[in-house]
Structure formats: C-alpha cells, structure tokens
C-alpha cells in the first residue's frame, strides 16, 4: 500500500503534498479559503537528481481551496508569465517573465464581485490579473506592469516584489511590496537595520491603477514578504526580518516581525514578532513567507516550509509547501507567538458526500498526482486525479453519511486498462463498504460515469478511495465522485 509523503493521516499540515507551493496568500470568499502560491517545481541536474531551487520555475500560480481547512481542492495552475513563450505559449501576461509571490483580493465594483491577482515579475515589478471568480479565467487588463521602478515613490526599493493586497472597509485598496537591503554586497549595519525598502501604495477604485505616490514603511531589518491585516481598527504590517548583521533581541533574524498603525498607509511602529523561521519547527529553514487571514471567526497564518521536499529527499533544497496554524491577538493588541506544527488546524465542518465532490479534493493521499482535466461539466480549471498505480489512494476527512447511510456510489473515470476503486472507512485497510469497477473507456480523457452499491456507510468517517489494478503505469483517471 502506498504511503503518505509529509501529510500524515489526521494531520492538517502541509496542506497538500502531491505537489509543492510557495509564498502562500489567502483569500476568503463565500465560505471558502483560497490559497494562491508560487509554482515551486523541482529543478533537475543532468543526471536526474534534484538540484537546489533556483526559482526558475516560478512562472505560474498554483491555487487550492477548502471550506473545512483539511480537505483541499486542487484548482491547478494559472499560467501567468507569458514572455518568451513561457507556459507553453499560454502565459496570460505576455510582458512578464515570472510570477512570484501572488496576492489576491475581491472587491464589489458596480454591483459585481471582481477578483484581482497581483504577482511579482521576479524582483522587477508588480503585475495584476483580473477575473470574475476566484479561480478564473484570468485576464491581463493592462498589458504591462502595474508597479515599476519608475512608479512615484518607489525609488530605492532593491527588490520590487512580494505584494500583499488589502481592501479596507470603505472599499479602498492598498498594495504593499518591496524588500532587499541597499548597499550591494557589503551593506553597512545602518543599511541592514533600516533598509527603507518596504512600500505601501493606494490603489485606484478599479484596483488596477495607482493613486499618488508610494509611501515608505520604515520596517526595521526589512528583508522581504509584506503582509497586512486589520484587527480591532489597528492595521498590522508584517514582514520577514533579514538575516544580515547584528540584531537586537526583539528583532530576530529570519522571523516574521510586525508593525502597527491606525492608518493603512502608516506611519507604522515596530511591535514585535510572531512566527519563527520554519527551520525552528520543521528542520529545514530558508526564507519565511506568510499571510495572516481571518476565516469563520478565527485568525490564522498561512506560511511555507520545506516539509515535502525534506520527506522525499532528506533535504529541503529550497522547495516549499503550504501550512496553516491558528494566530491569536492578545487583549492588548499584540500577537502571540505562533506554534507551527504538522498537526495544523482541526476540520472546521463535515464534508457532505451526497454532493458532487471533485476527486482532486484531498485530505490525504498515497502518491497520486493531479492534472488538467477535459471532462465535461467540471469547474473552471478542472483537474483530475492521475498517476494512479496499484495500492495508491486518496482520502477525505469527516464525511457525514448521516443515520440513513449511503446506498450507492458513482465516479467519473477514464481508463485504457481499467481497475477498481475500493471504498473504505477510517483507514486504507478500514471497513470495505463498496467496490467500483473502473471500465476501459477507450482513453485517459474519455470519461464515463460508473456506479456501485454501498453497504454500511453511516455516520461520520474518514473516507478512503483505494485504487487497485493489474495494469502498468497509470491505471485510470478520476474526475469526481458522489454518494446517493
């Protein structure tokens, strides 16, 4: 039987381990949280071994979403960068060579919710895409960068990247970005201590223009990774503290520090730190990138750590994966130190197995992959589970079958060899309540709905789909499932 990689059954971190994802940013909308990530993908040496991450694959934005914080639906990759034929010539922003560290926002404009995805073109500027849903399709409204080195007030920023976006209660949008230490290879201690490379810009009503000049945030020991949230009328600007020079005890290297203000454009005052470097928790350090968000009346921080690559290769090698842990504000407004761990967050709500559920909604898995699906009737950016071999599996947490229980199970599948889906409760070897025969459909994107009877599925259970078959390679693809 296939084993998990880094997300053990019962844990919530990392959020996914069937692929990577760095620099996470959270958007909450209509009872779901969407996580947008840089497209960390492994880079290889000529002999096929994994090389240190050179960040050469950050040309797309990965998106996952959840309503319960344990089961995450994979929405695939947004092909953002389009310069020089990037993303197979399908890149949306034809001027951009990269799409690093995304940030997303929603705003109601003329009675309609509009979505905005900001990204860094490497360290050279900030772009924006627009859509009518949080998963696209996405468009480039400007055909150029939104923020460049010639934007008023931006002079002096070493790295013009790592955007964070915030829409205030009055509908005004703000963009935070920047980073780096001036002084080249040998910065002075004063440049290290006060780089003055963070900026905040007021967005126009359309969210795709800049109003006035950027304002400097004098974040002490600023390195990168702007973050912003508002709690009890206070604006919290947070960032990754740099690693250079000598630091006072309250501004520790490589941790997430924060500043507060009564205005979204500052001035901000340094207040403390709340998230240690991921190396403190998971054994592989590197950069620290985060986003603070509120979901279903609780505050959280999403951040990345090298847990999946560490589990696979014994060294993180710079490849990141997303994690979430609770965040707490103290009564005086300060932020409590976050306890990052593999346990993560408890499941916030049960999953309804009588709704159509995308097969790429994954709590835990045994060595499957996902890919773009061409099945009819799926959501935008529909994916399917693939890479299925004998003994692989997918599971979701807390499926509530009710007291009456399920009587039948159907799945949309495609195959050239066929196989079986064993439906089991609570574990990969748990009670078998049904077995679905997957037919040969004549092609790996020739989809057919197959059905089988179910017996004994009542109450709330972890739900496991265990895949078996005699063929070699990918036995079949799996698009969605539903119980009746």
Q: What is the pLDDT of residue 267?
A: 98
Give tens-digit pLDDT for 244-278.
Answer: 999 999 999 999 999 999 999 999 999 999 999 99
User: What is the pLDDT at residue 472?
Assistant: 80
Share of the chain above pLDDT 90, in %: 99
* Res. 471: pLDDT tops 80: no
pTM higher than 0.85: yes
pLDDT value, residue 181: 98
User: What is the rounded average pLDDT of the residues 91-119?
Assistant: 98
pLDDT at 394 over 90: yes
Share of the chain above pLDDT 70, in %: 100
Q: Just list the catalytic residues.
A: 23, 224
Write the CA distances from 134 to 74, 105, 114, 156, 180, integer angstroms. 13, 9, 9, 34, 31
Residue 387, pLDDT > 90, answer yes
Band (23; pLDDT cuts 50, 70, 90)? very high
pLDDT digits (tens, 9 = 90+) for 30-53: 999 999 999 999 999 999 999 999
Res 68 pLDDT > 80: yes
Q: What integer pLDDT is reported at residue 155 of this predicted model? A: 96
Q: Rounded distance, CA 32 to CA 38, Å?
A: 20
């Amino acid at each position: 039987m296939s084993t998990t990689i880094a997300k053990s059954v019962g844990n919530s971190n990392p959020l996914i381990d069937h692929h990577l994802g760095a620099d996470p940013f959270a958007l909450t909308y209509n009872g779901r949280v969407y996580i947008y990530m840089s497209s960390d993908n492994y880079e290889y040496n000529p002999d096929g071994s994994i090389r240190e991450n050179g960040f050469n694959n950050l040309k797309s934005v990965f998106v996952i979403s959840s309503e319960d914080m344990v089961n995450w639906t994979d929405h695939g990759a947004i092909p953002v960068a389009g310069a020089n034929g990037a993303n197979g010539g399908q890149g949306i922003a034809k001027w951009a060579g990269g799409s690093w560290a995304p940030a997303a926002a929603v705003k109601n404009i003329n009675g309609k919710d509009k979505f905005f995805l900001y990204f860094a073109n490497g360290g050279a500027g900030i772009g924006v895409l627009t859509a009518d849903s949080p998963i696209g399709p996405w468009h480039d409204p400007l055909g150029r960068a939104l923020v460049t080195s010639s934007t008023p007030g931006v002079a002096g920023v070493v790295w013009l990247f790592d955007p964070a976006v915030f829409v205030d209660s009055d509908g005004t949008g703000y963009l935070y970005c920047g980073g780096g230490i001036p002084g080249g290879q040998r910065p002075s201690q004063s440049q290290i201590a006060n780089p003055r490379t963070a900026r905040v810009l007021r967005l126009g009503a359309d969210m795709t223009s800049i109003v006035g000049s950027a304002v400097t945030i004098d974040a002490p020991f600023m390195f990168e990774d702007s973050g912003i949230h508002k709690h009890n009328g206070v604006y919290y600007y947070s960032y990754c503290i740099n690693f250079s020079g000598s630091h006072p005890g309250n501004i520790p290297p490589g941790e997430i520090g924060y500043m507060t203000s009564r205005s979204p454009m500052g001035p901000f005052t340094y207040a403390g730190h709340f998230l240690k470097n991921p190396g403190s928790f998971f054994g592989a350090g590197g950069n620290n990138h985060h986003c603070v968000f509120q979901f279903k009346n609780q505050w959280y921080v999403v951040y990345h750590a090298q847990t999946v690559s560490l589990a696979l290769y014994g060294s993180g090698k710079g490849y990141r994966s997303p994690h979430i842990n609770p965040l707490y504000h103290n009564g005086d407004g300060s932020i409590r130190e976050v306890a990052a761990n593999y346990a993560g967050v408890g499941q916030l709500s049960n999953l309804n197995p009588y709704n159509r559920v995308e097969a790429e909604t994954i709590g835990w898995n045994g060595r499957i992959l996902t890919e773009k699906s061409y099945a009819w009737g799926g959501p935008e950016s529909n994916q399917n589970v693939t890479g299925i071999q004998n003994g692989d599996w997918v599971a979701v947490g807390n499926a509530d079958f009710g007291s009456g229980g399920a009587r039948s199970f159907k799945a949309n599948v495609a195959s050239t060899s066929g196989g079986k889906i064993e439906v089991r409760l609570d574990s990969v070897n748990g009670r078998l309540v049904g077995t679905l025969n997957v037919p040969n459909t004549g092609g790996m994107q020739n989809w057919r709905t197959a059905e089988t009877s179910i017996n004994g599925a009542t109450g709330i259970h972890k739900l496991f789909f265990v895949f078996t078959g005699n063929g070699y390679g990918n036995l079949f693809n799996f698009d969605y499932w539903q119980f009746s």
